[in-house]
A and B are shown apart, each in its own frame.
Chain A
Amino acid sequence: MIESNDLSKQYNNNFWAVDGVTLNVQPGQILALLGQNGAGKTTTVRMLTALLSPTRGWARIGGYDVAKHPQDVRANVGVLTEQHGLYMRMTGEEYLDFFGKIYGLDEKTRKSRSDYLLEYFGLKEAAHRRSGEYSKGMKQKLALARALIHDPAVLLLDEPTSAMDPESAQLVRNEISRLRSSKRTIIICTHNLAEAEALSDQIAIIYRGKILLNGTLEELKRTVLGPVEYEAKFSNPFDAGDLELPPGTVLADRSATSLRFRIDSPRDANPKLVRALTSRNAPLISFQEVPKKLEHVYLKTMADAQGVTYAA
């Protein structure tokens, strides 16, 4: 479990890299931390790993306070850093064994964990090659294997699939999903919004050290983009005229062959709306929700934060 309250970090030059971050990620949940480069994601992760001490506020990882029990925190966290940080003259097997030792695993456990992870990430054949000879994706996979070597309860992953080919990225996403199923608590820092959307239970958007938004994807969509929109498409031009709309429904946009409605409660309003359209003999060919992606939420939030207009 990851908890933080008012977590803040000020550097020597009086710059607040992180300012009042409050998070609560339960076991079996994934939080995606989104933000521009330099927004404070890495500093937040470093504080949660007890690498940097908070200037203000607190954080607890698996019940351990990052300021009071930094070593216990680090022993219980698996970290994938921004740079893969591999030793180029070590083989994949040696590398995992080295970190296994550091995390206090006995030889048998080290061997079995290392074998499993190398096999899972498709690195078995390259296990005896020096990691300097690995491709970018292989390096990233080995770094992820390092973060998982001690089977930690909490995972902090910075760009876990960057530089990976689509198959490898899918493999990593599957592993992250599997870890969630086994009640791990996970934070992912990523610029890959599709990945965040696919994996996360919670999304937090950070800008200049402050969390602008934090919630489920649905909550974020509703907060930022407003109520859900549905679009009716017609085979021929259709004049809606004085179409009677159910309560909580607003006509948001119209064209000759389509109408777009903003609906507060689709469950109640949609059947009535479809009935109203068919009763007017509308040449209806489809009626479906207008897809809103995390990308829209993110870009709109960033645009609002920067005081510029968001053009969807």
Chain B
Amino acid sequence: MRRNWDSIWMVAQREFQDQFRDWRIIVPMFIMVALFPFVADNTTLQAINFMNRFGGNLILDRIIPFVILVIGFFPLSFTLIVALESFVGEKERGTIEPLLSSPLNDRHLYLGKLLVGVTTPLLFSYGSIGLYLLLLLRRPVQFPSMYMMVLILLLTFAHAVLMVSAAIVISVQATTIRAANLLASFVVVPVAFLLQGETLLIFWGDEGVLFYAVVGLTILSGLLIRLGLSHFQREYLLGREIDTLNFKSMWRTFLVRLVGNAKSVSEWYRKEIPGTLRQLSQPLWIVVVVALVTIFSSYAWVVVVTPKYVNITPERVQEAQKYIADNLNNLDLLSTKLPAPSLFLSNVRASIVFLLAGLISFGTLGVNLFIVNMALIGGVLGVASLIHFSPFLVFVSAILPHGVFELTAVTIATAAVLKMGAVLVTPQPDKSMGEIFLLSLADWFKVFIGLVVPLLAIAAVIEVYVTPLLIKMAFPHLF
């Protein structure tokens, strides 16, 4: 442990020394730290005065945490410069090879550089926040609560780790600073959006929601660090000479995995699809368990918690039943209002959204969307129970007939997204990150084309033409 830390610190120490001797990094940071709090202080004052004239008390409470968050974020933009300089810069200048030829292991190098990438900008960031708070002492304004301050400082820390770990992932892929800077926009743009989202939480949400943002960012940063660790290998760092995109080779890699050894569609279904499903068995189990737990939890939450907030009187139950009965009368029009092809396309689109969300979050957002859908099912059954319908009958007549196909399809698609995320953060010394990504994407497409799309098509037809009939049979008194 001691030896590991010594090695990490050795790498970090040299980087710190190098950084503080590079005026291109230090001077702008100092200027930003020294100047920005004054600008922000003045702007805040103007804004508060402006708001006060119109009685904007809500904004008044929230504007200072928002300014603190922004002040903390500006110096953090240097995390990208520091991280890219530290990783790609070393590759480009050829200084990394002597380091890689030494007995230091990959983990020491990675963590040493990560430490520097996070620490210096974060120190400047906290310095800037501190200066702003000092300036704020002169103003007759209300300070944020200690809890809010801690959350903002944690959020700033999470931003730093997120940006550095993402920059390192980029650095492993690029061989020149130029290429890395171009790729860095994939970090800057999402983080800018993230900041806007957090601003919304500060303005209109509450501190509890901000806490979840900290937790979410920390998880994402952890996954990015793991991804960087798994791909920061000597072999890979030295194996790439130039940044080129070989579309032909990429397409071939994707296609070979997608088609496999199959000579016909039937062979593909007989050999390739079962093979891919076998590989998905573990994520499938996880997703199924997550689905069951979510449905039951959501059901229980609705049944137990709702009555505490809503007084469920017999009149209200009757009113709700009448409302449902009125709406169910439109069931006959379902095939014209929502034709099966539209329903099918909508479900396909949802599966693709799961994939896209999973792609930018190592599968986690894809699984989150799946959880939301499962929670809806549990919620619907819970509401059914509250208004004295049999949840079992609702499930068997209104969900299960098409759900057998639809839920199976969505579960498989989610499992494939989860696997993609897991594979990306798992070390595979013989494959590049791009190759791993393409192979997992091909696996996803394999189950998507081979299973998910046909299952969703069947589900759409059943949902439009069969499910309404079964609902009528199960609940004749409503029609």
Question: Footprint of B on A, CB under 8 Å?
Answer: 11-13, 46, 49, 51-53, 71-72, 74-75, 77, 79, 81-90, 94, 98-99, 101-104, 143, 146
| B18 on interface, CB distance cutoff 8 Å | yes
| B336 on interface, CB distance cutoff 8 Å | no
Q: Are A81 and B94 in contact (CB under 8 A)?
A: yes
**Bitwise interface map of B from 423 to 460 toward A, beta carbon under 8 Å scored 1, else 0:** 00000010010010000000000000000000000000
10 A-B pairs with least C-beta separation: A83-B94, A75-B103, A79-B101, A85-B98, A89-B21, A81-B97, A85-B95, A102-B102, A74-B103, A85-B94
Report the Cα distance A77→B102, complex, angstroms. Answer: 8
State the Cβ distance, B94 to closest chain A Cβ, in Å: 3
- Per DSSP, are chain B's interface residues mostly helix, strand or loop, or mixed? helix
Report the Cα distance A51→B435, complex, angstroms. Answer: 21
| B145 on interface, CB distance cutoff 8 Å | no
Q: Are A87 and B103 in contact (CB under 8 A)?
A: no
| B267 on interface, CB distance cutoff 8 Å | no
Q: Are A85 and B103 in contact (CB under 8 A)?
A: no
Q: What chain B residues lie within 8 Å of A88 (beta carbons)? A: 93
* Other contacts beyond A52-B238, A74-B102, A99-B98: 6, CB < 8 A: A12-B435, A51-B234, A72-B103, A83-B94, A84-B94, A85-B96
| B277 on interface, CB distance cutoff 8 Å | no
Report the Cα distance A13→B22, complex, angstroms. Answer: 39
Report the Cα distance A89→B96, complex, angstroms. Answer: 15
Q: Known contacts being A11-B239, A87-B14, is A49 close to B101, with CB within 8 Å?
A: yes
Report the Cα distance A82→B239, complex, angstroms. Answer: 15
**Bitwise interface map of B from 113 to 128 toward A, beta carbon under 8 Å scored 1, else 0:** 0000000000000000
Q: Are A102 and B103 in contact (CB under 8 A)?
A: yes
Q: Are A103 and B103 in contact (CB under 8 A)?
A: yes
- Per DSSP, are chain A's interface residues mostly helix, strand or loop, or mixed? loop
State the Cβ distance, A106 to closest chain B Cβ, in Å: 13
A-B pair number, CB within 8 angstroms = 76
Smallest CB gap from B15: residue in A: A87
Report the Cα distance A104→B97, complex, angstroms. Answer: 18
| B104 on interface, CB distance cutoff 8 Å | yes
Q: What chain A residues lie within 8 Å of B313 (beta carbons)? A: none
State the Cβ distance, A8 to closest chain B Cβ, in Å: 15
Instruction: Count B-side interface residues using an 8 Å CB cutoff.
Output: 28
Report the Cα distance A146→B97, complex, angstroms. Answer: 12
Interchain residue pairs with CB less than 8 A apart (22):
A51-B235, A53-B235, A72-B103, A81-B94, A81-B101, A82-B94, A83-B93, A85-B94, A85-B95, A86-B95, A87-B95, A88-B93, A89-B18, A89-B21, A89-B22, A98-B14, A99-B98, A102-B104, A103-B102, A103-B103, A104-B103, A143-B98
State the Cβ distance, B304 to closest chain A Cβ, in Å: 56
Q: Which of A79, A81, A89, A102 counts the most B-chain CB atoms under 10 A from its CB?
A: A102
Report the Cα distance A251→B96, complex, angstroms. Answer: 57
State the Cβ distance, B5 to closest chain A Cβ, in Å: 14
Report the Cα distance A172→B435, complex, angstroms. Answer: 44
Q: What chain B residues lie within 8 Å of A12 (beta carbons)? A: 239, 432, 435
State the Cβ distance, B168 to closest chain A Cβ, in Å: 19
Q: What chain B residues lie within 8 Å of A146 (beta carbons)? A: 98
Report the Cα distance A12→B432, complex, angstroms. Answer: 9
Report the Cα distance A154→B21, complex, angstroms. Answer: 35
Residues facing A in B63-100 (CB within 8 A) are 93-100
Report the Cα distance A71→B101, complex, angstroms. Answer: 9
Smallest CB gap from A79: residue in B: B101
Contact for B238 among A46, A84, A98, A103, CB less than 8 A: A46
**Bitwise interface map of B from 227 to 269 toward A, beta carbon under 8 Å scored 1, else 0:** 0000000110011000000000100000000000000000000
